[in-house]
Amino acid sequence: MSEPLSKIPSGFRYYSAREAQARRFVETTSMNVFAGWSYEEIVTPTVDYYSLFEQGMGETEAQRSFRLVDVDGRLLAFRPDVTTSIARAAETLFAKRARPLRLCYSATVFRQHTQSKADWRRELTQIGCELLGKNTTAGDMEILAIATELLQRLQLNRSFVITLSDAEIFSGIVENLGLDAKARDELRRLVDIRALSELELFLNSYTTAEESAAFANLIQLSGRSEIFARARQVITNTRSRAALDRLESLWRIIESLGYSSNFEIDLGDVSRLDYYTGLTFKIYVGGLGVRLGSGGRYDHLTGKFGRDEPAVGFVVELDALAELLAKEEQSNLSNQTENVLVSSGVDDACTVFQKALKLRAANRQVRIDGEGT
């Protein structure tokens, strides 16, 4: 028995009318912002070797991809992310180009298995940019400024929050406590789900009850500049301290730019730690139950394809953004001129097209209506 042709595979869908318009609007607006910061567009292959993504994203993430076998028996995958492919290009195609490299993209990615049930899509469009070859706070700030401008330009009628942390804070703590891989994963899990009492219990076997409680308290809440003083009382190892200093100098720039109402420090953000090596951030928008985007510094990714090179970037989910915008009735999703009428049913085809061509030459919108045509 064959499936009816009306059925669409789960996780895929059509977009039309206002939704399609919203998607185009998000894409155009974002690409214009990237261009405004001198980012060059890059189009990566839709299908690539599975091993590339396994190296770049780690096994767990890569295994979510749609996989297929090439004619020579090698495993291929529909790209589950874009960053990995960009990192490889940076060390191969663009190896000799002057640094920093500024690259941006808008591309569909595919996942056979979704990460959570709230995220049903198996075809997603990601919009993002990567800054390669710049290992400075200014580089981190550039990415955050672009993300902020992008959200502002979309005129979302809702508040957004970007939460900041640094992967080295957690790594320093793990090193300091002398945790093995299994204990590290457990600590990461407890911090990630903010299971504070369990976290305290867990830490009690490695450090004093006082320190455990202070640490649990620290990751409980996000906050602003006051977080740094509190964090330094609890976290004393050199590695984490250096990360805190770095984060604080970034925070000072954010404050001086007047951005701080949209930013928060969240030391409990410990996701994807194998990938990130410095700044990490997440983007949340009011009215959206899921994360809108994320980013950070990943200085060791390019090393898998050539040499280690500092890199920082971010990605936002076009689908979620467009969905929000399409729902906001007052938002203007088009840069089009006024809707101009075109033809009437009484004209013959020749006249109709003469009129239409004239209007098009003036860049007006036309729509050919009428029975006769």
Partner 1 sequence: MAQLTIAIPKGRLEAETLDLFAAAGLCLPAHRDPRQLACLDESGETRFIFVKPSDVPVYVEHGIADCGVVGRDVLFESEADLLQPLSLEIGACRIAVAAPAELPENGHSMLRVATKYPRIASRYFGERGQPVEIIQLSGSVELAPVLGLADCIVDLVETGRTLRENGLKVTEVIAASAAQLVVNRASYQLKATVIAKLISALKGVVRLRAVARASRP
* C-beta closer to partner 1: residue 264 or 309: 264
Query: Does 115 interact with partner 1 (rule: CB under 8 A)?
Result: yes
Query: Does 220 interact with partner 1 (rule: CB under 8 A)?
Result: yes
Q: For residue 313, give the H/E element and its range.
A: strand 311-317
Among 27, 198, 211, 299, contact with partner 1 (rule: CB under 8 A):
198
x/- map, 151-190, partner 1, by CB under 8 A: --------x-x-x---------------------------
* C-beta closer to partner 1: residue 129 or 164: 164
**Minimum distance from residue 109 beta carbon to partner 1 (Å):** 19
Query: Does 213 interact with partner 1 (rule: CB under 8 A)?
Result: no
Among 177, 179, 196, 242, contact with partner 1 (rule: CB under 8 A):
196
Binding-site size, partner 1 (CB under 8 A): 26
Instruction: Provide the sign of the torsion angle of the four alpha carbons 235, 237, 243, 244, taken in this order.
Output: positive
Please tell me the distance from the alpha carbon of residue 208 to that of residue 244, in angstroms, as a whole number: 22
Query: Does 45 interact with partner 1 (rule: CB under 8 A)?
Result: no
What letter does residue 258 receive in the DSSP assignment?
T
Please tell me the distance from the alpha carbon of residue 121 to that of residue 280, in angstroms, as a whole number: 24
Cβ count near 267 (within 10 Å): 28
Please tell me the distance from the alpha carbon of residue 165 to that of residue 267, in angstroms, as a whole number: 5
Query: Does 327 interact with partner 1 (rule: CB under 8 A)?
Result: no
Instruction: Provide the sign of the torsion angle of the four alpha carbons 84, 85, 86, 91, taken in this order.
Output: positive
Q: For residue 104, give the H/E element and its range.
A: strand 101-110
* C-beta closer to partner 1: residue 90 or 320: 320
Please tell me the distance from the alpha carbon of residue 304 to that of residue 307, in angstroms, as a whole number: 7
**Which tokens go with 22?**
């919203």
Among 197, 225, 249, 354, contact with partner 1 (rule: CB under 8 A):
197
All residues at 6 or more sequence positions from 232 whose CB lies less than 8 Å from its CB, including other chains: 241, 244
Query: Does 201 interact with partner 1 (rule: CB under 8 A)?
Result: no
Query: Does 217 interact with partner 1 (rule: CB under 8 A)?
Result: no
Among 7, 96, 117, 307, contact with partner 1 (rule: CB under 8 A):
117
Query: Does 291 interact with partner 1 (rule: CB under 8 A)?
Result: yes
Please tell me the distance from the alpha carbon of residue 370 to that of residue 195, in angstroms, as a whole number: 66
Please tell me the distance from the alpha carbon of residue 256 to that of residue 283, in angstroms, as a whole number: 20
Part in contact with partner 1 (CB under 8 A); list of ranges 12-20, 96-104, 214-222, 234-242: 214-222
Query: Does 290 interact with partner 1 (rule: CB under 8 A)?
Result: yes
**Minimum distance from residue 198 beta carbon to partner 1 (Å):** 8
Among 116, 205, 233, 363, contact with partner 1 (rule: CB under 8 A):
116
**Minimum distance from residue 99 beta carbon to partner 1 (Å):** 34
Sequence-ordered alpha helix ranges (H) in the chain: 17-36, 50-57, 59-62, 83-91, 137-153, 167-177, 181-192, 196-204, 209-220, 226-234, 238-256, 318-327, 349-361
**Minimum distance from residue 119 beta carbon to partner 1 (Å):** 9
Contact indicator for 231, 218 with CB cutoff of 8 Å:
yes
Please tell me the distance from the alpha carbon of residue 49 to that of residue 78, in angstroms, as a whole number: 9
Part in contact with partner 1 (CB under 8 A); list of ranges 6-14, 44-52, 74-82, 109-117: 109-117
* C-beta closer to partner 1: residue 166 or 200: 200
In the complex, the residues that contact partner 1 under the rule CB under 8 A are: 115-118, 159, 161, 163, 193-198, 220-222, 264, 266, 282, 284-286, 288-291
